[in-house]
Amino acid sequence: MTSAWTDREFPNTICLFDVDGTLTPARGVITESMKTTLEELRKKCVVGFVGGSDFVKQQEQLGENAVDMFDFCFSENGLTAYRQGKRLAEDSFLQFLGEDRYAKLVNFCLRYIADLELPKKRGTFIEFRQGMVNISPIGRACSRDERNEYEVFDLKHNIRKDFVEALKREFSDYGLKYSIGGQISFDVFPIGWDKTYCLRHLESEGFNTIHFFGDKTFEGGNDFEIYEHPEVTGHAVKNPLETEAILKSLFSL
């Protein structure tokens, strides 16, 4: 254990949280109730979040002061990371794949999306991030109502699931993994760069208990790998209210 956490009741314990659907509603903002719960939790143990989005989007949901609210902030699964407000080293999806392979991946996705018959299509079908690309058949520029409508359509017609299977066949030699998360998109990243990537930042901290809370813990969901990790105690939740309830029970908040 490092001396940084000796002010906590359980300094060898850390709680990590997915963002969407766990700390906040999908693409929604954190509630005052959740903020209060996390503030009380930080008296008990170390607290961090890990999500696939970039840090700017996470700030939109968690607040501009996210680095002050959490001990660890892991954006893009930990490719961008903060410890006590200080930025740590990072890696790059583009460096891993290379420009030629990346272009082939993007071209295939755009052609595939062009041939999809969907009730609606909007904009930003492929979003480039530091550690991954995020692909959305409807486009990330859709409204909240359109997002909800698409989620129902997607679950019925397996749009994202079939898209992922097509990518697996086409790019089987690229060393990539695919993870469906949220309502409208899925992530593409190098094998091993799922949410377990963030754990490498914790190796020198001496934690003997790592809790993780997430709502996409099913196989293929973007919380699955860290939820199932042998060094992690996983908690599957349906929404932020359930997250709060489990925390209050576990830590007597």
Angle at 147 between CA 220 and CA 56, to 5 degrees: 80
Q: Is 140 annotated as a binding residue?
A: yes
CA distance 67 to 87: 10
227 labelled binding-site residue: yes
Identify the active-site residue in 18, 71, 154, 194. Answer: 18
Question: Are 182 and 26 contacting, i.e. CB atoms less than 8 angstroms apart?
Answer: yes
**Catalytic residue flag (residue 71):** no
In the 8-state DSSP scheme, what is residue 221?
Answer: B
Q: Is 7 one of the annotated active-site residues of the chain?
A: no
18 belongs to an annotated ligand binding site: yes
What does the DSSP assignment read for 134-171?
EE-SS-TT--HHHHHHHHHHHHHHTHHHHHHHHHHHHT
Residue 100: burial class (beta carbons within 10 Å; 0-12, 13-18, 19+)? exposed
Find the largest Cα–Cα distance for the chain. 56
CB 166 within 8 A of CB 21: no
Place of tokens 């939740």: 237
87 appears as a binding residue in the annotation: no
Q: Is 187 assigned a ligand-binding role in the annotation?
A: yes
Annotated binding residue 20 = yes
Three-state SS at 219: coil
- Are 84 and 46 a contacting pair, CB within 8 Å? no
* Strand order from edge to edge, sheet including 126-128: 126-128, 133-135, 185-190, 176-181
Q: Is 100 annotated as a binding residue?
A: no
194 is known to lie in a ligand binding site: no
Query: CA torsion angle for 31, 28, 60, 66 (degrees, to 10)?
Result: 40
Query: 20, 54, 194, 223: which is the annotated catalytic residue?
Result: 20
**Binding residue numbers for alpha-D-mannose 1-phosphate:** 27, 129, 140, 147, 185, 187
**Binding residue numbers:** 18, 20, 27, 129, 140, 147, 185, 187, 215, 227
Q: Which residues are catalytic?
A: 18, 20
**Binding residue numbers for Mg(2+):** 18, 20, 215, 227
